[in-house]
Amino acid sequence: MYYSRAKLFSVIAACLAGLLLCVPNFVRKPAASIPWPQIHLGLDLRGGSYLLMQVDLSSLTHDRLQSLSDSARQSLLAAGLGYRDIALDTKQGQFSFRPRDPSEKDRDLKILSDMPRAVADEFTVAARPDGSIALTLSPDAMRTRAHEAVTQAIEIVRRRIDATGAVDPEITRQGEDRIIVELPGISDPEHIKSLLGTTARMTFRLVDETAPGATVAPPGDTMLPLTEAPGQTLAVRDHIDVDGADLVNAGATTDEQTGGWAVNFTLNSAGTRAFSAVTQANVGRRFAIVLDNKVIEAPVIRSAITGGNGIITGNFDARKATDLGLLLRAGALPVPLTVAEERSIGPSLGADSIRAGALSLLVGFLLVIVFMALFYGRFGWYANVALFANLVLMLAILSLFGATLTLPGMAGMLLTLGMAVDANILIVERIREELKRGRTPLAAMQAGFERATATILDSNATAFLAHVMLFVFGTGPVRGFALTITIGIATTLFSTLLLSRLLMVRWYALTRPSTLPV
């Protein structure tokens, strides 16, 4: 029951700090240089857009099969072995070919079995009864790659959206192959959709000069459409000489020769070496710049390019060049994304939600105050003061961390206030029991606090752990609800066991009453 000056001033300082942190939520920021932490409103309160993006995992299998088939061809040719009738089967997750000569089958099997694997047991190699050889991807390995690809896609989506200046986007995973994107304050997400729907995988490949005007791709080539010449295609080697993953920077610029918009890029050391080697060895040949399986341009290599810098020209305007630079900086999506579902919430509906939530919070708060004042008198008013401090501290902590408040979060705050009153009721009822047993006022207060504290700690500890698990494993509204409850439990313990007790103890120390008002 004794409060030292240090303990007294610590409790008061914590309450004052809470009030100070709440101010930015109600006052406009006076200057840009001043830190101004605020609670951000979620999609259901502020209005905005909701996008459910579907991940095309089949393309991941196709790309990996194509990469393995290219590696297999290179390995076989390096060993002096031939192949024919190469076929990819994305549904079965395998590619197959026939040996040039049946006597080479064993050597083909050995070379393919020795190929490096991205993950353990990624694929198996076997001869089929019809004399062909098949390389089959492992389902477990592909599931692992798919999980990693979706995780990587979420990070790239986040980087792309952050670069647009969107405030407080919420990007979460749903199931195995879906990504939820919530954009508060953005009612027209068309620009965001165009950015997210672009894979932005850029590669540099040599053009097959032996197939001019071809309509069917020779083995090892792919017919790709030309961006600036709709309806025309170009035979491009499947082998990727320089990967866009080696880009370290890209941005919009102007072409010094034409004065039009262009995109410059810079490669890392590995990309610079590869770019230098391929341009040095292929002077006079065309080098295609491929973006999402479309040839942007295919200039002729005039001389070796060793600086690691380049420029992409084309029919760009300022926005197209800026967007392409953004996409290349953020990185290519490992898998294509499509919009599976889209919803928009207008700001008027969000404002209605705020009014409804604030009204319910206010009415609930007032009812609790009236109940405590009527049933517990002076100690009930002390509990009300602690309850107000509890609400202030919850808002302060949410502001400090820039948390996003949603309707479920507001419901969690109201529930927390009701739970906080329970702790005060336990303490007062314990004090009543001790008075009935004939204890003095001071002894009754001492025993009431001691016996109620253990019960309060136990009940709040179990609730705290349960809501931490909800926050860790939940998504969307569940996380918002769990966050406010978790913070509310911490502030409830402070306001009940420290502030409420402080008010009661200071009152008793000043008045020394012969009876307690309970």
pLDDT at residue 228 above 80?
Answer: no
Q: Are 336 and 319 in contact (CB under 8 A)?
A: no
pLDDT at residue 252 above 90?
Answer: no
Residues 6+ apart with CB under 8 A from 162: 169
pLDDT at residue 31 above 70?
Answer: yes
Q: What was the pLDDT predicted at 1? A: 66
CA atoms of 240 and 429, how far apart (whole Å): 76
Residue 499 DSSP class: I
Could you list the beta-strand ranges (E) of 304-380: 309-316, 337-345
Residue 20 — pLDDT band, cuts 50, 70, 90? Answer: very high
pLDDT at residue 191 above 90?
Answer: no
Q: In this structure, what are the phi and psi dihedrals at residue 47, rounded to the nearest 5 degrees?
A: 85, 160
CA atoms of 262 and 324, how far apart (whole Å): 10
Mean pLDDT score, 122-150: 85
Q: What was the pLDDT predicted at 390? A: 92
Mean pLDDT score, 187-198: 78
CA atoms of 376 and 438, how far apart (whole Å): 20
- CB count in 10 Å sphere of residue 499: 24
Between 225-239, 276-290, 390-404, the lowest mean confidence (pLDDT) is in: 225-239
Q: Are 289 and 316 in contact (CB under 8 A)?
A: no
Alpha carbon of residue 99 to chain centroid: 47
Q: Which long-range contacts (C-beta less than 8 Å, at least 24 apart) are formed by 77-82?
A: 79/107, 79/111, 81/107, 81/108, 81/111
Rg of the chain (C-alpha set): 33
CA atoms of 371 and 316, how far apart (whole Å): 68
Is the C-alpha dihedral spanning 423, 428, 431, 437 positive or negative?
Answer: negative
- CB count in 10 Å sphere of residue 471: 16
Q: What is the pLDDT of residues 90-114, one digit of tens each?
A: 888 888 888 888 888 888 888 888 8
CA atoms of 373 and 459, how far apart (whole Å): 24
30: exposed, middle or buried (C-beta count within 10 Å: 0-12, 13-18, 19+)? exposed
243 half-sphere exposure, CB direction, 13 A CA radius = 8
CA atoms of 301 and 432, how far apart (whole Å): 92
Q: What was the pLDDT predicted at 159? A: 84
Residue 497 DSSP class: I
Place of tokens 């009204």: 359
Mean pLDDT score, 194-211: 81
* Nearest Cα residue to 208 out of 93, 285, 95: 285
Q: Is the pTM of this model over 0.85?
A: no
What is the signed CA dihedral for 383, 384, 389, 393, rounded to 10 degrees? 90
Mean pLDDT score, 161-172: 80
Q: Are 277 and 270 in contact (CB under 8 A)?
A: no
pLDDT at residue 324 above 90?
Answer: no
CA atoms of 481 and 478, how far apart (whole Å): 5
- What share of the chain in percent tops pLDDT 90? 9
Mean pLDDT score, 153-172: 82
Between 39-43, 430-434, 463-467, the lowest mean confidence (pLDDT) is in: 39-43
453 SS3 class: helix
Residues 6+ apart with CB under 8 A from 152: 334
H or E stretch at 460: helix 441-473
Name the average pLDDT for the chain.
Answer: 84
Q: What is the pLDDT of residues 263-314, one digit of tens each?
A: 888 888 888 888 888 888 888 888 888 888 888 888 888 888 787 787 877 6
Q: What was the pLDDT predicted at 490? A: 92
Alpha carbon of residue 122 to chain centroid: 28
Residue 350 — pLDDT band, cuts 50, 70, 90? Answer: low
Alpha carbon of residue 120 to chain centroid: 28
Place of tokens 């604030």: 358
pLDDT at residue 487 above 90?
Answer: yes
